[in-house]
Structure 1
Amino acid sequence: MKLGIVYAGQGSQRVGMGQDFYEKYEEFRETIDNATDAVSGVTEMNVADLSFNGPMEQLSETRYTQPAMVAFAIGVTKLLHKKGIKADYTCGLSLGEYSALYEAGILDESTILELIAKRGKFMAEASGDRPIKMCAVLGADRDIVKEACDEANAFFCNELIVQAANFNCPGQIVISGDAAAVDQASTYLKEAGAKRILPLKVSGPFHTKLMKPAGDKLAAEFEKVDFKEGNSKVIFNCIGREKTGDEQIPKLLEKQVQSSVYLEDSIKYMADAGVDTIIEIGPGKAISKFISKTVDNVKVYSIDTVEDFENALEELA
């Protein structure tokens, strides 16, 4: 067996996530409790209380979602590692990439949590009060989506922008940017035959050049961090593959926040490398669905609950 571990991104959060793990596993409980302290210098939040009790509106705010999701991911990863389950390849969707860096041993727990709290804060600040929108486009290929975004940007003389933010799987691409530009691109896409365009519940124009201020602030933070050699092979969002010798992790993370996420390419890269089993970690099963639409003959386990975790352990054993 060659194993891939993939981490969910923002939008998968739910009230109650991780509560069953917290009540049953000491390692998970310690991770969640420590996370509150780790992020306290950046974002005041009780990770356990917000994750388990909400309200959903606050849990869905970028500055709170990101630490809560990553704390959940680290806690489950610790439990897998304790059972001797480690990835050959790992990646994550947007903020999930930071959990992948933890799984690979590139960054430690406290560093990851502090960085992700700052990332959430910087992204929220970059969004400001600007009217924004993200939409999932179903049933349109990459070239059509990119062309629609280019036409919308030209319509607004590039004063308002829309970009392809996430290439999730064949037939599902997320566009992001200024609300009016996203609406304009959506009009073009409907005319071009897109099957559906679904607004997403998000609070910023993620993975567009509007996030450059966040990328700049993150770059300054990365200069203070020691990035270690990894134990697992990490596939990076903004390139959809492993990094080469002359590519540096801090630069890839800086680029990631303001450019497209190539999840579809990342999953294909894993499969081409011989990965035949993938564990998705995070609330919901969105990535599992993306995987099933992207590659064949890959067994997928989605770990959202203790029951999911224990069933996966039993089968993997």
Structure 2
Amino acid sequence: MSKQAFVFPGQGAQFSGMGKALYDTNEQAKALFEQANEILGFRISDIMFSGTDEQLKQTNVTQPAVFLHSVIAYKSIEGAKPDMVAGHSLGEFSALVANGALSFEDGLKLVSIRANAMQKACEINPSTMAAVLNLADDKVEEICAQIQSETGEVVVAANYNCPGQLVISGSIAGIDKACEAMKAAGAKRALVLPVGGAFHSPLMAPAKAELEAAINAANFATPTAPVYQNVVAKAVTHPDEIRINLINQLTGAVKWTQCVQAMIADGATNFTECGPGKVLQGLILKINKEVAVSGVS
């Protein structure tokens, strides 16, 4: 039996004008945007609709903005009933609102706390990420481990996006060395990304205590559909497990390839991406060409 999966993008999907069509044409969407402005204490909708790329790139704006667009896009679908959900990094919070594990308000508050905690961690440890193309995952992992043991610099595999596309994360010196080694090992490209820090690496540890306290204080309900969480890449339904995996995601890898493969193994044939952009649709088709993908923005 074919199953419907809903997926939600992460940081990097933002663009100026995001969500404006929903605000202008949907009364429920408009009310949710205004509620979000109140919760956050600033008019994030104004930045989303007409802000500059620079304004949208600030972590404390980007993360709530992508979350808002994704959740509101999902809520605009009449009669949406997911059989399973997943989100890429930040998108996991959107997924947890879609399956009823988190309320809209709690999801937004947690995303805002996460964004600010990550921003502080980036300032404590100047660090970065790089995309590695066309090199086997195990080879990327081997090079990262080798550089860590030889130099003491932090370098880890952070995002398993699709076969042949892996993002590494770590200290600036470590990433520079890793990029040289990846190219020497045959990578088509090893490109430093314009990000604020080493997300999904041990260098995010300074943000963990604050996020953990907020997640443990938030109310998590039993979801209506399983969430395939980034750090375990399998179906999760127990609120306590969901909490633990959300906390560990901050310093752990996003196993997106493995999540999609697990969803397909469990019967997913249709994937709908909710939110800005089409990045996840592209990644899913690179993981498996047989499934149907669509988007709602």
- Is this a same-fold pair by TM over 0.5? yes
Superposition pairs for residues 85-234 of structure 1, below 5 Å?
85-128=80-123, 130-156=125-151, 158=152, 160-234=153-227
Match in the other structure for 1:27: 28
Could you tell me which amino acid in structure 1 is paired with residue 53 of structure 2?
Answer: M
CA contact (8 A) 1:151 1:185 kept: no
Distance between the aligned counterparts of 2:237 and 2:216, measured in 1?
20
Distance between the aligned counterparts of 1:209 and 1:216, measured in 2?
13
Could you tell me which amino acid in structure 1 is paired with residue 183 of structure 2?
Answer: K
Please report the RMSD computed on the Cα atoms of aligned residues, expressed in angstroms.
Answer: 1.5
Q: TM-score, normalised by structure 2?
A: 0.96
How big is the shift at 1:296?
3.0
How big is the shift at 1:218?
1.1
Match in the other structure for 1:49: 46
Could you tell me which amino acid in structure 2 is paired with residue 117 of structure 1?
Answer: S
Q: TM-score, normalised by structure 1?
A: 0.90
Could you tell me which amino acid in structure 2 is paired with residue 37 of structure 1?
Answer: E
1:59 corresponds to 2:60: no
User: Which sits farther off after the overlay, 84-93 or 235-244?
Assistant: 235-244
1:280 to 268, 273, 287: 273
Match in the other structure for 2:4: 3
Distance between the aligned counterparts of 1:276 and 1:290, measured in 2?
15
Could you tell me which amino acid in structure 2 is paired with residue 3 of structure 1?
Answer: Q
CA contact (8 A) 1:11 1:201 kept: no
Match in the other structure for 1:308: none
Aligned CA distance change for structure 1 residues 77 and 246 (closer, same or farther; 3 Å): closer
Residue aligned with 1:206, SS: coil
Distance between the aligned counterparts of 1:244 and 1:285, measured in 2?
27
Match in the other structure for 1:314: none
Aligned CA distance change for structure 1 residues 244 and 87 (closer, same or farther; 3 Å): closer
Could you tell me which amino acid in structure 2 is paired with residue 166 of structure 1?
Answer: N
How big is the shift at 1:165?
0.6
Q: Cα deviations across residues 134-171 of structure 1 (Å, max 9, x unaligned)?
A: 11111011111111111221232x2x311111001000
Distance between the aligned counterparts of 2:201 and 2:252, measured in 1?
5
How big is the shift at 1:255?
0.2
1:74 corresponds to 2:67: no
How big is the shift at 1:244?
7.4
How big is the shift at 1:9?
0.5
Match in the other structure for 1:294: 287
Residue aligned with 1:122, SS: helix
Distance between the aligned counterparts of 2:135 and 2:120, measured in 1?
32
Residue aligned with 2:169, SS: strand
Could you tell me which amino acid in structure 1 is paired with residue 34 of structure 2?
Answer: D
Could you tell me which amino acid in structure 2 is paired with residue 237 of structure 1?
Answer: N
Residue aligned with 1:302, SS: strand
Distance between the aligned counterparts of 2:32 and 2:75, measured in 1?
9
Match in the other structure for 1:313: none
Could you tell me which amino acid in structure 1 is paired with residue 186 of structure 2?
Answer: G
Distance between the aligned counterparts of 2:196 and 2:173, measured in 1?
15
How big is the shift at 1:11?
0.7
CA contact (8 A) 2:169 2:200 kept: yes
Q: Cα deviations across residues 66-99 of structure 1 (Å, max 9, x unaligned)?
A: 111111111111111xx11221010000000000
Query: Which consecutive residues of structure 2, in runs of 5 or more, have no partner in the other structure?
Result: none
Distance between the aligned counterparts of 1:202 and 1:101, measured in 2?
25
Residue aligned with 2:236, SS: coil
How big is the shift at 1:129?
5.4
CA contact (8 A) 1:35 1:113 kept: yes
Match in the other structure for 1:312: none
Could you tell me which amino acid in structure 1 is paired with residue 118 of structure 2?
Answer: M
Q: Cα deviations across residues 166-200 of structure 1 (Å, max 9, x unaligned)?
A: 00100000011111101111111111101112332
Residue aligned with 1:36, SS: helix
Aligned CA distance change for structure 1 residues 129 and 58 (closer, same or farther; 3 Å): farther
How big is the shift at 1:39?
2.0
CA contact (8 A) 1:33 1:47 kept: no
Matched-pair identity in %:
35
Residue aligned with 2:89, SS: coil
